[in-house]
C-alpha cells in the first residue's frame, strides 16, 4: 500500500506539533521518521494510523482519501516502544489474538490459526517460545513477538514507534538488522519512528528528517548523510566541526585559515563550514603549510580508529578529528604537538540575509 500525507497541520493548544507536512511513502519501502524529541514524529504516525485527527490536511492510502476511515479499516499493524503483550496469555495466544477477535465471517478456523501462528513464530525465529508467558521473555524477544502479533492480521502497512527504544544498545543493534531482513522478506510498506540517526541510516530505504513540526529533508540514507539540506540535518546526522567565518567570492575566511567554498556559487555573507571528523586531513605543522594550525590536546586510539581532540591556535576552538589507527601510529604524534588540518570535504552554509 502507498501512503501519502498532504498538508497536515496539527496543534495542541497553541503548540504547533505538525506544520503543513506533506510526504510520500512508497509501496514496500521502509521509511524512518527521524528527529529530536518532540518534533512531531509520533503525532504523524498516529495520524497515519487514524488514532489522531489532523486539524487540516489529508491522508491517502493507495491514492484514496482515508482521512475519515476508522483505524480498523486502515489495515495497519502497530508496534510500540512499550509493547503491550497480554501478560496472562502465552506467546502463542498473544500472536493468535488478532485472528481470534476477527468478525465471525472472516475468522480463520482453529487449524488455520495454528498454522498461521506457527509460521509467524518461525518468521521471527521464536517458535521455541510458543508456550511461554511474556514476563518469561527478554525485552528483545518481547519486541519480536509484538511484531509477529502485528503481522498476524496481514496488515498492509506496518507502523513502528521506537520499537527498540527500551532495549540496551547491543540488542537494539541486532534487532534493527533483523528488522531489515524481515522487511526484505515481507515488503510491507513500513514506517518507523526513531531519534537514533545511526538506526535510521542503517535500516531505512528513505529517511525523513523532522524538526519542530517541519520536514527538513527527505531522501535515501546516503543522500541525506552526504548532501544535508540544512545545518540542522548536518548536525543531527553525526558529529561535525563548525568553522565560522565570512564568505566572499567563493572563499570562506575563518580565523587565520581560508577554504574554497565547493559547489554552486553562494551569496557573500557570514557563513559556516561543516566538516565531519573523518573528513579532516592531518599532518605535522611545517611553516607556510596551508590549513588550520592546531595543537593536539588528546588522542584516543582504540581499535581501527584514532580520535583526536585538537585546539585551533587562532581561535582556541576545539576540533574533533578521526584517522586510522594505522596512520596515527605511523605518524607517532605526541600530545601538545602542533599540527595542521585541512578539510577533504566540507559543506558551507551562508546565513541567509546576513551581509558582511
Minimum CB–partner distance for residue 67 and ligand ATP (Å): 19
Contacts to ligand ATP by CB under 6 A? 12, 15, 17, 35, 37-43, 195
Taking the least distance from each CB to ligand ATP, the nearer of 37 and 286 is 37
Q: With respect to ligand ATP, which residue has the nearer C-beta, 162 or 349?
A: 162
Rounded least distance, CB 236 to ligand ATP, Å: 13
Specify the residue, 42 or 307, whose C-beta has the smaller distance to ligand ATP: 42
Shortest Å distance, C-beta 8 to ligand ATP: 12
C-alpha cell at 41: 514524529
Neighbours of 111 (CB within 10 A): 8
Residue 26 or 36 with smaller CB distance to ligand ATP:
36
Is the Cβ of residue 34 or residue 346 nearer to ligand ATP in the bound state?
34
Distance of closest approach, residue 155 Cβ to ligand ATP, in angstroms: 21
Per-residue three-class SS string for the chain: CCEEEEEEEEEECCEEEEEEEEEEECCCCEEEEECCCCCCHHHHHHHHHCCCCCCEEEEEECCEECCCCCHHHHCEEEEECCCCCCCCCCHHHHHHHHHHCCCHHHCCCHHHHHHHHHHHHHHCCCHHHCCCCHHHCCHHHHHHHHHHHHHCCCCCEEEEECCCCCCCHHHHHHHHHHHHHHHHHHCCEEEEEECCHHHHHHHCCEEEEEECCEEEEEECHHHHHHCCCCHHHHHHCCCCEEEEEEEECCEEEECCEEEECCCCCCCCEEEEEEECHHHEEEEECCCCCCCEEEEEEEEEEECCEEEEEEEECCCCCEEEEEEEHHHHHHHCCCCCCEEEEEECCCEEEECCCCCC
Q: Which is nearer to ligand ATP, 26 or 38 (CB)?
A: 38
Query: For residues 40 and 271, which CB has a smaller minimum distance to ligand ATP in the complex?
Result: 40
Closest CB 162 distance from ligand ATP, rounded Å: 7
Nearer residue to ligand ATP within complex by CB, 43 or 141: 43
What is the dihedral sign for C-alpha 293, 247, 222, 217?
positive
List residues bridging with 294 in a β-sheet: 312, 339
Q: Which is nearer to ligand ATP, 43 or 241 (CB)?
A: 43
CA distance linking residue 187 with residue 317, whole number of Å = 48
In whole angstroms, the minimum distance from the beta carbon of 231 to ligand ATP comes to: 20
Least distance to ligand ATP from the beta carbon of 117, Å?
31
Minimum Å gap between C-beta 317 and ligand ATP is 31
Question: Least distance (Å) from ligand ATP to the CB of residue 226?
Answer: 25
CB 34 within 8 A of CB 208: yes
Amino acid at each position: 500500500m502507498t501512503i501519502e500525507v498532504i498538508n497536515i497541520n496539527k496543534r495542541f493548544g497553541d503548540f504547533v506539533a505538525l506544520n503543513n507536512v506533506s510526504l510520500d511513502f512508497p509501496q514496500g519501502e521502509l521509511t524512518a521518521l527521524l528527529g529530536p524529541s518532540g518534533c512531531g514524529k509520533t503525532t504523524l504516525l498516529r495520524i497515519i494510523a487514524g488514532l489522531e485527527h489532523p486539524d487540516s490536511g489529508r491522508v491517502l492510502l493507495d491514492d484514496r482519501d482515508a482521512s475519515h476511515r476508522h483505524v480498523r479499516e486502515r489495515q495497519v499493524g502497530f508496534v510500540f516502544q512499550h509493547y503491550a503483550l497480554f501478560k496472562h496469555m502465552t506467546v502463542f495466544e498473544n500472536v493468535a489474538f488478532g485472528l481470534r477477535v476477527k468478525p465471525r465471517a472472516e475468522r480463520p478456523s482453529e487449524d488455520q490459526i495454528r498454522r498461521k501462528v506457527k509460521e509467524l513464530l518461525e518468521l521471527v525465529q521464536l517458535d521455541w517460545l510458543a508456550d511461554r508467558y511474556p514476563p518469561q521473555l527478554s525485552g528483545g524477544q518481547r519486541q519480536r513477538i509484538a511484531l509477529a502479533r502485528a503481522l498476524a492480521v496481514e496488515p498492509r502497512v506496518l507502523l513502528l514507534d521506537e520499537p527498540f527504544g527500551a532495549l540496551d544498545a547491543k540488542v537494539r543493534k541486532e534487532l534493527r538488522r533483523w528488522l531489515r531482513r524481515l522487511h526484505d522478506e515481507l515488503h510491507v510498506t513500513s514506517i518507523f519512528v526513531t531519534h537514533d540517526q545511526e538506526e535510521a541510516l542503517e535500516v531505512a530505504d528513505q529517511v525523513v528528517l523532522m524538526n519542530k513540526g517541519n520536514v527538513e529533508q527527505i531522501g535515501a540514507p546516503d543522500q541525506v548523510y552526504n548532501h544535508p539540506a540544512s545545518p540542522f540535518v548536518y548536525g543531527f546526522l553525526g558529529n561535525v566541526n563548525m568553522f565560522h567565518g565570512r564568505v566572499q567570492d567563493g572563499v570562506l575566511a575563518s580565523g587565520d585559515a581560508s577554504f574554497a567554498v565547493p559547489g554552486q556559487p553562494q551569496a557573500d555573507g557570514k557563513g559556516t563550514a561543516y566538516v565531519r571528523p573523518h573528513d579532516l586531513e592531518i599532518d605535522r605543522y611545517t611553516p607556510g603549510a596551508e590549513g588550520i594550525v592546531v595543537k593536539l590536546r588528546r588522542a584516543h586510539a582504540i581499535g581501527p580508529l584514532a580520535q583526536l581532540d585538537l585546539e585551533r591556535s587562532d581561535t582556541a576552538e576545539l576540533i574533533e578529528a578521526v584517522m586510522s589507527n594505522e596512520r596515527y601510529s605511523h605518524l607517532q604524534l605526541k600530545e601538545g604537538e602542533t599540527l595542521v588540518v585541512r578539510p577533504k570535504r566540507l559543506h558551507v552554509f551562508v546565513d541567509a540575509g546576513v551581509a558582511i
